[in-house]
Amino acid sequence: MSNLPRIGIDIGTTSVKMVELVPAGKDKWKLVSAVSMPSIVGGVLANQNNLPAFSQILVKMKKEAGIKSQRAIVALPEEQVSSHIVELPLMSEAEAKQALQWQVEQYIPIPADRAVWSYQIIRKDQNAGGMEVLLVAAAKNLVNAYINIVEQAGLEVVAMETELMATSRSEVPTDYPLSLIVDVGSKSTDMGVIQKGQLVFARTVATAGEAFTRAIQSSLGLDAAQAEQYKNTYGFAADKLGGKLAEAMKPVLNVIATEIKKTVDFYTSKHSGQNIPLLTLSGGISVLPEMVGVLSGMVGMEVSVGNPFGKLVMDKNQIQTLSGSGPIYGVAIGLAMRDL
């Protein structure tokens, strides 16, 4: 592992996050700085004019946080990345790469000449003579847009990966058994199976944080700002507002819970004898009052809230300043932890 500092950049729907870390021993990193600023409506690909505006945001963040490093790892939005498990006969890594070059269009919804793809061997079965490969692909125009934004801010892109890969690195303990991570964003919910610290299966569903807010609006007759405030303040607490808020949101959570169970069932049906008992919950929705208990009851799994600060060495001022901010920095921290 390089001891040089590295930057993690997460350009999200509602905010842009930048974190600088320095390795500080085995599975530990020292937090140098962390900063966030509001994002731009529409995101990266909505308008070409957004690209220089995003670059300026990164310049301001770098200056505000006093970040000196130039090496950045950048997240690609999970919902715009295609992830697929490919089953191949047992072969060398070089042979696997060659095989995938001929087969890649079978697995991704993007023409191969307009895509950037990579792969990782995640499982080898010597007895069965087969292996599983995680294939990840994204559109070239998406990748190029993110690279341009970061380079125009005077930084060097040294790696890119999906949001879920980064979050699992920062929030799931490496000694966990087979487990699930569920990251509930504003527009989509990302789910991934983690084995020995490695993402081995991923999928995205459209139901997420905004759906909870809309359910509250519709049920209680509130405007969007009020609904968002009530959601964050009272969550699923049954003794607040006569339980009306929890009842309004439960149908939305039930959709997410159903998709979680589908994910677990699909993976375990493919891997006989394996069980997924633990779920790490990430994203702003994870800290809603009573959220963990209600979701645990729905899915029949032990649920805990991910803590991206758990592997960081932080001073007292950082701990105080960033208290309660863990959910928004999970991706950026995981990116900066990536081994180069």
The answer to whether residues 59 and 149 belong to one domain is yes
The answer to whether residues 123 and 17 belong to one domain is no
The answer to whether residues 54 and 150 belong to one domain is yes
In a domain, 35, yes or no: yes
The answer to whether residues 20 and 162 belong to one domain is yes
Helix axes 224-234, 244-270, angle to 10 degrees: 70
Indicate the average pLDDT of the chain: 91
- Reduced to 3 states, what is the DSSP secondary structure of residue 15? strand
**Is the model's pLDDT at 128 over the cut of 80?**
no
CATH number of domain containing 101: 3.30.1490.300
The answer to whether residues 135 and 159 belong to one domain is no
**In the chain, what percentage of residues exceed pLDDT 70?**
99
State residue 149's pLDDT score. 95
Secondary element (H or E) of residue 265: helix 244-270
In terms of average pLDDT, the best of 71-75, 131-135, 238-242 is 71-75
Residue type, 75: A
| Average pLDDT of the residues in 118-122 | 88
The answer to whether residues 222 and 149 belong to one domain is no
Taking only the tens place, the pLDDT of each residue in 20-32 is 999 988 778 999 9
Q: What is the DSSP string of 213-230?
A: HHHHHHHHT--HHHHHHH
The answer to whether residues 221 and 114 belong to one domain is no
State residue 41's pLDDT score. 81
Alpha-carbon distance of 180 to 185, in angstroms, equals 16
Distance (Å) of CA 122 to CA 91, 131, 134, 264, 283:
13, 8, 7, 17, 26
Alpha-carbon distance of 181 to 193, in angstroms, equals 6
State residue 1's pLDDT score. 54
How many structural domains comprise the chain? 3
On whether the pTM is more than 0.75, the answer is: yes
Which residues, in sequence order, are bridge partners of residue 198?
A: 195
Alpha-carbon distance of 317 to 198, in angstroms, equals 32
Cβ-based neighbours of 102, under 8 Å, separated by 6 or more: none
The answer to whether residues 297 and 241 belong to one domain is yes
